[in-house]
Structure 1
Amino acid sequence: MFAEEEKVLVDKQNAINNKVKFGAFVDTYYSYNNNRPKAKERNYTTQAIRNQEFNINLLHIEASVEEERYRGRIAMHWGTSVIANTAAEVQKDNSSNQVSTRNIQEAFVGVRLFKRTWLDAGVFFGNIGHESWISQNNVNYTRALALDYVPYYSSGVRLQHSVSDKLSFQVQILNGWQNITDNNKDKAFGSQIKYKFTPTLTLTLNQFVGNEAANFERKQYRFYNNTILEWNFFDQWSLAFQFDIGAQKAKESLSYEPWLSQINPSLPIYRSEEAKAYRQWYQGTIWLSYRINEDLRVALRAERMYDPLQVVASTNTRNGFITNGYTATLDILSFDPAMLRIEYVYRRSRDAIFDYQSRSSQKEDLVVFAFSMKF
């Protein structure tokens, strides 16, 4: 009897193993910055971040499975974009995966609750924005400003449901805004609504709300809405629009009131006041892609980020982060599953925030050569 039970378990395990898919991705790049900065790293980005240097933007290995009743993915990764994107992870505690969080790209398990409903738990890609962490899946090689300032990854649970072939949605309970190790006691909430008007026209709405202040600070709730409209037309053309708006409660303020100590000597001359104002920022991006033939594709991107109060992008300048960007990309696809990309990026800000030789400049422009491959 024991031999039969053991054989059943072995057969079941072999069946699962046969359904697991393994893969890998290598993304290499060389970036030549025309500003010729003294610093080796670019500011206000996480992609192609190193100047005048051959490096690995992203390398990951993965194992995934998706069957009728269960699914999951485990992916570990390394690269300059990984270090840049996980820099804000909490490091002060002793037992919250600090050593390994940097290298976890995704690690989730999911079960099918109903025919069209999935429940996943763990670490998974963030759902906000038109671009992903995997460069080959994107129209351009580098990421738009709007995408570098939204979560690349999230940790928590998500419920996904397809109402029909056209309409689907998901609800998330998360540790916070791009973090695995939580920085406070509160949980954040995310959601997505996706509607396909036609097979070529899709509208996606992503939302986020959560307290982004540390435990020792007063709550600073962040509200974020991301709207994406994608249109693929005439087989060779694709067009996408994205508009984002964010708002976060300002930090507490200190009011100078020296007369308090005259009333009561034990009172300080500064009194803490809870801020009631919300600081806002906006981001808008347009992508246009044209496939010339089976081997060549060109893409353009225009973008603007408006964060004068420096909620998410700190410049320590008068006008904050008010920046336009323009990107042109040539993709050589004849090496499939590899891809060779040549890209020119130009960004201009209202203030001098970009490194330019030994001083600062309002503009930054660079050429990126990238070669990547999926296995």
Structure 2
Amino acid sequence: MRAARWIIQLLILAIGTLATPVLAQVVGLTSEERTTGRASAAMDQEKPRSPDWHYGGFIDLGYSLNFNFPENHVFRTRGTTPRVNELDLNMGGIYVRKDATDQSRWGMELLGHGGQDAKDFGFGVNLPKVQGADALRHFGRANVSYLAPVGNGLVLQAGLFNSFIGNDSLYAKDNFNYTRSWVADYSPYLMFGANAQYAFNEKWSGAVFIINEYFHLQNTNSVPSYGVHVAYKPSASWTIKETIYYGPDQSDTSLRYWRSFSDSLLEWKVNDDLTLLGEYQVGTQEMAAPGNPRVFYMGAAVPMRWHIGGPWSVALRPEVYWDRSGLMTGSEQLIKSVTATAEYKVPYKWTNMRARLEYRYDESTGSGGGFFRRNEIAPGVIGLAPAQQMLIVGLIWTLDSP
């Protein structure tokens, strides 16, 4: 609770010192609405408006055939799709959302979820959890927002909201591939705190945020963390995003031990059917431990998706993740991976049914690298293999109101 009070107090202080809107992005408005926000009331009444309230739900069932056949059925060091060689409800959820608009400036989001993907996504490795974490992990979003009449529209948001870091969503339905990338699983899917968002024009937008910690369900201290997000769209085809995080993620909150982290994202929409992305993350911090070692980790992914035609799409994602000191994954390792996905989509009114078939290859080297395999090497100890191949079938059903 002390961290939450700090977050709100600091947000109010930061906003009060802004002479002009800084680094924010309009939520719930199209570019046309942002540039014509001062149009007359008569013109607004003539334009059809989309509903402010939205609701829906989704179910995600998956079966991951791991050809290593580990007896513990575990995808090692993973927070999402963590189980293999069994049929699982990886995620199911329901949501309600109200957009913040010029006509109704208050907005809100509430999303509840459950399943295998909801068990470990918000925790750091071997770090203390917040009180009530077993219940709080069932919330995917829970926030309120306000569209302030400042310039093009300044959006203030507080609570549990989507992370400004990374490209992959916690939910497979929103991603190119069924399984998430390594950089996604070791960066926050959600953030708890407050943010201010603004779109300066058609090309530049951004945000500032104050949050409790890097992973929202960990509890190493009561000092807030900070960040800035900037997006630049030089043309209709290209988008460049940069997010910087800076904050304490150890019990010793001295500045020398704060984590510095950068997430860079490049998107190229070649046409309506082909999209290519490039993402690079790098983080470092000095450890409050004997010798004060400096740890370092980095990762990169290149997701791409091609809509072949009709209901068919394919996606490919090569990636690499280097955890030099084992800070993020718990093991010193270099992971190389490639994931290929075919999707068949059946839309009907408000619903969509997606069937995905995915092949995934992961290889891990280093002193702590490897993936679980068949047979124990000692009582209660599962052996490790340097690589694994997986064939994954996913069925995703969604319902979304207009």
Q: TM bucket by the smaller chain?
A: 0.7 to 0.9
Aligned residue in 1 for 2:23: none
Counterpart amino acid of residue 314 in structure 1: G
Range moving further from structure 2, 169-178 or 46-55: 46-55
Aligned position for 1:75? 111
Aligned equivalents of 1:189 and 1:216: distance in 2? 14
Cα distance in 1 for residues equivalent to 2:129 and 2:311 = 49
- Letter in structure 1 aligned against 2:224: K
C-alpha deviation, 1:234, in angstroms: 2.9
Distance 2:239 2:328 in 1: 28
Q: CA deviation at 1:147?
A: 0.6
Q: Which sits farther off after the overlay, 218-227 or 58-67?
A: 218-227
Match of 1:323 in 2: 335
**C-alpha distance in 1 between matches for 2:306 and 2:129:** 48
> AA paired with 2:341?
T
TM-fit CA distance, 1:71: 1.1
Which secondary structure state, in structure 1, belongs to the residue aligned with residue 119 of structure 2?
helix
1:294 to 310, 320, 343: 310
Aligned-partner residue type, residue 143 of structure 2? F
Deviation at 1:278, TM superposition (A): 2.6
Distance 2:129 2:159 in 1: 22
TM-score w.r.t. the length of structure 1 is: 0.83
CA distance in 2, matches of 1:301, 1:127: 21
Between the two proteins, the alignment pairs up a number of residues equal to 331
Matched, 1:46 2:46: no
- Counterparts of 1:159-308 in structure 2, within 5 Å, are 159-180=196-217, 182-214=219-251, 220-253=257-290, 275=292, 277-308=293-324
Deviations 1:270-289 (A, max 9, x none): xxx6x2x5321111111122
1:335 shift after superposition: 4.7
> 2:391 aligns to what?
367
Q: 1:148 to 1:293 in 2, by over 3 A?
A: same
What are structure 1's unaligned runs of at least 5 residues?
1-17, 254-272
Alpha-carbon distance change, 283 to 181 in structure 1, aligned in 2, over 3 angstroms: closer
**Deviation, structure 1 residue 180:** 4.2
Structure 1 residues 186 and 67: CA distance shift in structure 2, 3 A: closer
Q: Once the 2 structures are TM-superposed, how far is the Cα of residue 91 of structure 1 from its aligned partner?
A: 7.1
Cα shift readout 1:117-160 (whole Å, capped 9, x = no counterpart): 10000011212111111212211111110110000111000010
User: Counterpart of 2:309 in 1: which secondary structure?
Assistant: coil
So what's the TM-score if we normalise by structure 2? Answer: 0.78
CA distance in 2, matches of 1:45, 1:201: 31
CA distance in 1, matches of 2:329, 2:128: 21
Superposition deviation, residue 215 in structure 1: 5.5
Contact 1:218–1:251 (8 Å) recurs in 2: no
SS of corresponding position for 2:120: helix
Counterpart AA for 1:222: R
Q: Name the residue aligned to 1:105.
A: 140
Which amino acid is the alignment partner of residue 311 of structure 2?
D
Distance in 1 (alpha carbons) for counterparts of 2:324 and 2:355: 37
User: Does 2:345 align with 1:333?
Assistant: yes
Whether 2:53 is the aligned partner of 1:29: answer: no
Indicate if the aligned counterparts of 2:80 and 2:121 stay in contact, CA closer than 8 A: no
Contact 2:62 2:87 in 1 (8 A): yes
- What SS does structure 2 have at the residue aligned with 1:311? coil
**Structure 2 SS opposite 1:84:** coil
AA matched with 1:80: Q
Map 1:121-160; keep pairs closer than 5 Å. 121-160=158-197
Which whole-Å deviations, capped at 9, do the CAs of 1:23-62 have from their partners, x for residues lacking one?
Answer: 1111111111111111122112222211111111111111
TM-aligned CA distance change 1:67 to 1:86, over 3 Å: closer
- Classify the secondary structure of the residue corresponding to 2:55: strand
Shift of the 91–335 alpha-carbon distance from structure 1 to 2, 3 Å rule, reads: same
Q: Distance in 1 between matches of 2:230 and 2:172?
A: 24
Offset, 1:235: 2.4
AA aligned to 2:93 is H
Identity %: 22
